[in-house]
């Protein structure tokens, strides 16, 4: 019988904890991502909270979950470095470039990840793609730039829709852009970053994951 997606997420969450424990020292801070896979990782990590100092979270949601487990959550301004950041992805390719932001936490995810020495991506096999872009690209924008950034996206060949009823932890809307056929995610990420009003786009290609743990029907594989 096939292993369900939920079980695969659980397996990869456990594998991530086993992967990072040897990297951690007593005074270390762990970077923690956002989403259903990250939630499972937090629950696993909690069993080992005596082995590290604290966490830095990429969302209020994850911060609350960490705190419920009794894990101290630090303001990122008080964290100089972290050995590791662990997070899920909506898509990941063979270069470990990712498309993220389905949960809307992309900006804080990119910021927290930038402080860590390694980005460990955890995902089930449904997230592995040949080319990024089938999943709609989330872009966090300043409120006054929703229309102008959406027009810029249509010039790049995408179709943008505002995410209804959603505001990020930073107080901004998100537009989701469909229809990109992505040949060079690094180039597209750079172009989108340069559009006035864009806070952050969901491509994580300029800084891809250091390693990806992918849960498959045949066990957790390393990419």
> Has 210 been labeled as part of a binding site?
no
Least Å from the CB of residue 46 to ligand 5RP? 17
- Residue 52 DSSP label: S
- The SS3 call for residue 76 is helix
Residue numbers 8-67 binding ligand 5RP by CB under 6 A = 33-38
Q: Binding to ligand 5RP by residue 89, rule CB under 6 A?
A: yes
Does the footprint of ligand 5RP cover residue 120 (CB under 6 A)? Answer: no
d(CA 89, CA 83): 20
87 is in an annotated binding site: yes
Exactly one of 105, 116, 137, 152 binds ligand 5RP (CB under 6 A); that residue is 105
Contact at 8 Å (CB) between 106 and 200?
yes
CB of 97 to ligand 5RP, least distance (A): 14
Q: Which stretch binds ligand 5RP (CB under 6 A): 47-55, 82-90, 167-175, 180-188?
A: 82-90
Output the smallest distance, CB 148 to ligand 5RP, in A: 23
Identified catalytic residue from 109, 117, 140, 187:
109
Tokens of 22: 């040897």
- Answer yes or no: are the C-beta atoms of 111 and 100 closer than 8 Å: no
Q: Known binder of ligand: residue 216?
A: no
Q: Cβ contacts of residue 67 below 8 Å, gap of 6+? A: 73
91 among known catalytic residues: no
Q: Which of 66, 82, 101, 139 binds ligand 5RP (CB under 6 A)?
A: 101
Q: Binding residues for ligand 5RP, per CB under 6 A?
A: 33-38, 87-90, 100-106, 109
Q: Per the annotation, where are the binding residues for substrate?
A: 34-37, 87-90, 100-103, 127
Catalytic residue positions?
109
């Amino acid at each position: 019988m096939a292993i369900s997606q939920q079980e695969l997420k659980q397996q990869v969450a456990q594998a991530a904890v086993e992967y990072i424990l040897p990297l951690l020292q007593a005074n270390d801070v762990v970077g923690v991502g956002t989403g259903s896979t990250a939630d499972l990782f937090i629950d696993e990590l909690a069993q080992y909270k005596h082995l590290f100092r604290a966490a830095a979270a990429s969302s209020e949601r994850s911060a609350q979950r960490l705190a419920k487990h009794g894990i101290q959550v630090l303001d990122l301004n008080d964290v100089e470095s972290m050995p590791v950041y662990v997070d899920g992805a909506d898509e990941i390719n063979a270069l470990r470039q990712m498309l993220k932001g389905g949960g809307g936490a992309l900006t804080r995810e990119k910021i927290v990840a930038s402080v860590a020495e390694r980005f460990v991506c955890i995902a089930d096999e449904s997230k592995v793609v040949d080319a990024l872009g089938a999943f709609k690209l989330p872009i966090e924008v300043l409120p006054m730039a929703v229309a102008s950034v959406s027009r810029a996206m249509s010039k790049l060949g995408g179709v943008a829709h505002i995410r209804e009823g959603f505001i990020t932890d930073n107080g901004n809307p998100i537009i989701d852009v469909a229809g990109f056929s992505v040949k060079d995610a690094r180039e597209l990420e750079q172009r989108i970053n340069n559009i006035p009003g864009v806070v952050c786009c969901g491509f994580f290609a300029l800084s891809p994951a250091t390693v990806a743990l992918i849960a498959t029907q045949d066990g957790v594989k390393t990419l």
